[in-house]
C-alpha cells in the first residue's frame, strides 16, 4: 500500500466521521422504559423493529406491539404504567412531562389488542392530559386506571 493509499483511506474515514453526525438526526430524549417482556414483544422506531428488552428506552413516535402469546409493560416518566396483552399494537404519538413549564401530554393510538393504563402523576396534575385514540373514538384518562380492548 502506498503513502497515497494511506492518505486517501484516512481522508475518507475522516470525512465519514464528520458527515455522519450532520446527516443523522438526533433521537428524542427517552420518556419511559420497558419494564416487562413476556413472549413476543416488539419496539418499532424510525423504520426498525426489534424485540423488546427490559430497560429499553421508549421515545415519542415509537410503536409497541405483542405477538399471539406476548405481553409488554412500560413505565413512563411520570410513573404511568402501560401494560399490553397478546396481539396488541399501540403507537405513542406524543409524550411530554414537564410540570415546571406546564407541558403535560400523553397521546397514544391503540390499533388492536388490550391496554391497561394506570395513570401516574400526569393525570393528577392535569386530568385532561392523557388520551388514547382507538378506531372507535378517543378515550380520556382522567386518573386512576382504564382497561381498553380493541378488536382487529
pLDDT number for residue 22: 46
Contact yes or no for 103/126 (Cβ under 8 A): no
Give me the mean pLDDT over the 52-60 stretch. 98
Residue 3 lies in a domain: no
Report the distance separating Cα 74 and Cα 55, nearest Å. 9
Q: Residues of 110-122 as b/e, b for ≥16 C-beta within 10 angstroms? A: bebbbbebbbbbb
Note whether residue 63 is domain-resident: yes
Band the pLDDT of 133: cuts 50, 70, 90. Answer: very high
pLDDT computed for residue 125 by the predictor? 96
Identify the pLDDT of residue 1.
Answer: 54
Is 23 a member of any domain? Answer: no
Residue 68 has a pLDDT of 97
- 105 domain residue, yes or no: yes
**Residue span of the structural domain in which 79 resides:** 32-150
113 has a pLDDT exceeding 90 = yes
Count: domains in the chain: 1
The pLDDT of residue 24 is 53
Which of helix, strand or coil describes residue 98? strand
89-102 pLDDT, tens per residue? 999 999 999 999 99
In a domain, 44, yes or no: yes
Amino acid at each position: 500500500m502506498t503513502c497515497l493509499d494511506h492518505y486517501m483511506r484516512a481522508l475518507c474515514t475522516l470525512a465519514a466521521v464528520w458527515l455522519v453526525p450532520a446527516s443523522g438526526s438526533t433521537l428524542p430524549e427517552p420518556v419511559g422504559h420497558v419494564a416487562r417482556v413476556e413472549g413476543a414483544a416488539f419496539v418499532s422506531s424510525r423504520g426498525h423493529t426489534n424485540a423488546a428488552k427490559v430497560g429499553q428506552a421508549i421515545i415519542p413516535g415509537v410503536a409497541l406491539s405483542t405477538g399471539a402469546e406476548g405481553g409488554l409493560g412500560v413505565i413512563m416518566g411520570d410513573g404511568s404504567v402501560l401494560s399490553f396483552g397478546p396481539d396488541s399494537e399501540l403507537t405513542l404519538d406524543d409524550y411530554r412531562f414537564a410540570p415546571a413549564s406546564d407541558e403535560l401530554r400523553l397521546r397514544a393510538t391503540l390499533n388492536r389488542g388490550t391496554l391497561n393504563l394506570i395513570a401516574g402523576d400526569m393525570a393528577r396534575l392535569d386530568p385532561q392530559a392523557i388520551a388514547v385514540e382507538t378506531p372507535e373514538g378517543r378515550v380520556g384518562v382522567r386518573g386512576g386506571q382504564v382497561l381498553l380492548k380493541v378488536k382487529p
